Amino acid sequence: MRKQKNQVLLLEDVDSLGRSGEIVTVKPGYARNFLLPKKRAVVAEKHLVRLQERLKEERAKKAATDKKESEALAKELVDKVLKTQVKIDAEGHMYGSVTQADIVKLFKEQLNIELDRRNIILPKPIKKIGEFEVELKLKEGVLAKVRLEIKPAGQ
C-alpha cells in the first residue's frame, strides 16, 4: 500500500517546506492537521493559478524588503558585544550553559533587537567562560556575527 501525497499552495512561508506562492507536495496528515487548519496553505487546484501568481509577486517584494532590513541589521551588529555573567563553582566551571534562548534574551535586553532562537547558529550550548563569536542567520539568508563575553558573576 503506497501512501498518498497532497499538493498544496502555500499562503505563507513555512520553514523547511517552502515559501509563499509555491506548490509543494506533503503528506495528507501534515496538510490536514497543520497547514490547512492554521491557514498556511490551501489544496492546490487548477483555478488557483492567479492566486499563486499574486502570492509569488508579494513574496518577491517581501523578500527584497526583508533582505534590506537584514543587511542593515548585520551592519549595525558589526562591533556589538553582548555581555553576560554566569555562576561558577570553586574550580571555575559554569553551572549550566549559555544557550540560543539565553542569547535571544540578551539581544532583547541589551540591544533591544527581537530575534528568534532559530536565527542563532550555535551547534551546542556554550559551557566555558570567555569571549565567543556567535553567528546569526537573519531573514533571506543574510549572515551576521556578534561577540559574546561570558564572565563569572561578581567580577
Task: Provide the residue-wise pLDDT of the chain in tens; the chain has 155 residues.
Answer: 455 678 898 888 888 898 888 889 999 999 999 999 999 998 888 777 777 788 888 888 888 898 898 888 888 888 889 999 998 888 878 888 999 999 999 989 998 888 888 889 999 999 989 999 999 988 888 888 999 999 988 76
| Mean model confidence pLDDT for the chain | 87
Q: pLDDT tens digits for 19-60?
A: 888 889 999 999 999 999 999 998 888 777 777 788 888 888
Which domains, ranges and CATH numbers included, belong to the chain? 6-66 (3.40.5.10), 77-152 (3.10.430.100)
Comparing CA positions, the residue from 21, 145, 11 lying closest to residue 80 is 145
Interior CA angle at 100 toward 19 and 116, to 5°?
35
pLDDT at residue number 102? 92
Q: Is the dihedral of CA 18, 23, 26, 31 positive or negative?
A: positive
pTM summary value: 0.67
Position 16, amino acid: S
Q: How far apart are CA 155 and CA 45, in angstroms?
A: 64
